[in-house]
Amino acid sequence: MKNKKWGIQNIPEQKDKTIIITGATSGLGKEATRVLAMKNATVIMAVRNTPKAKIVASEIRKEYANVKIDIRSLDLSCLDSISSFAKGVLEDYKNLDILINNAGIMMCPYSKTKNGFETQMGTNHLGPFALTGLLMPLLMSTKNARIVSTSSVAHNQGDIDFTDINWEKRKYNTNKAYSDSKLANLYFSYELKRRLENVENPPLVVTAHPGGTKTDLARHSGIFNVFMNLLFLPVEKGVLSTLRAATDVNAKSGDYYGPGGFMQVRGFPELVQSSKMSHNLTNAKHLWDLSEQLTDVQY
C-alpha cells in the first residue's frame, strides 16, 4: 500500500530487536541510530571512529535516557576488521533482526584498501558483502530478519568493468567508480534475494537510496556541495527511505525504496524502480562470484 507521506510516525515499536547500523557516527547512519534507539531497539553502532560514536551516543542518551546502544569498531575497508566485528557479534548476540549496510564513501581520490581493492568498490560493496555473509548465520536464525543495502541514484551511471574492477588499467574516474559501487549494491541485493528464495526463514533483502541528501559523504565533490546545499533534503528526511526499508511491515524481498518526487531526488519514501542494468542477471552472478573470490567469504 502506497503511503505518500511515510514518516517516523509509521515506524512500529522496535523493542527486543537488535539492529546493526554501519557508518553510524554521521549523516544517515547517525539519524537512523537516533530514531531506532528512540523506538526501543538495541542499536549496534558499527563504526571506524569509536570516540566520535561515544559522543553521538551521549547526545542521543541526553534526548532519550534509556536507549540501548552498543558501540563496536568496524572498518569496512579491511577484511580483518570485518571478520573481528562479525565474530564479536556472533559471540555476544542471540538474534540480529536488522542489518543496515549504510556506511559508504563518495567521489574520493584514487586509493586502495588494505586488501588491495579500489577504495570505493572495496568500502561500498566488498566490505558489506563480506560483513553480511559473515553475519548470515545469525540473520538466518532470527525470525523475520532483514538486510538493508544502501544504493544511490548514481547507480544509473554505473557499468562495471569486471576485467578491471580495481581500476589498474584505466584512467581513474572517481564519479564512475562511485556509480559502479552503487550499482554493485543493487546487484548484491537482487542476487542475494534470488539465492534465498528456496531457503527456510530467509531474511528479507531490501534496498534503499536517500535521493539527494545533505551529508558529508560528498566532501570530496567540490562545487557539487554548493548545488547540494541548495536543492537536497535534510538528513532527517533523507534517512526515511532507509528507515522504511528497515521497518515497513509491508516490505517484500527485492523492494527498492527512495524519494518519490522528481527524479527520485526529493520527496517522501516510496517503492521506486532501479535501472534496467541493475536487473542484469549475468552481471549480478558474475559480481557475486568475483566478490566471494576477492573477500574469501562464501554464503
Task: Report the catalytic residues.
Answer: 178
CB 266 within 8 A of CB 59: no
Strand arrangement, sheet containing 256-259: 68-73, 42-47, 18-22, 98-101, 146-150, 204-208, 256-259, 269-271
Residues 6+ apart with CB under 8 A from 204: 144, 145, 146, 147, 251, 252, 253
d(CA 251, CA 231): 29
CB 73 within 8 A of CB 41: no
d(CA 292, CA 299): 8
Q: List residues bridging with 22 in a β-sheet.
A: 46
Kindly tell me the number of DSSP H helices and DSSP E strands found in the chain.
Answer: 10, 8
Residues 6+ apart with CB under 8 A from 121: 165, 166, 177, 180, 181, 184
Question: DSSP H helical segments within 39-173, as ranges?
Answer: 50-63, 79-92, 119-121, 127-140
Per-residue DSSP letter, 112:
B
Residue carrying the nine cell digits 562464501: 298
d(CA 147, CA 124): 15
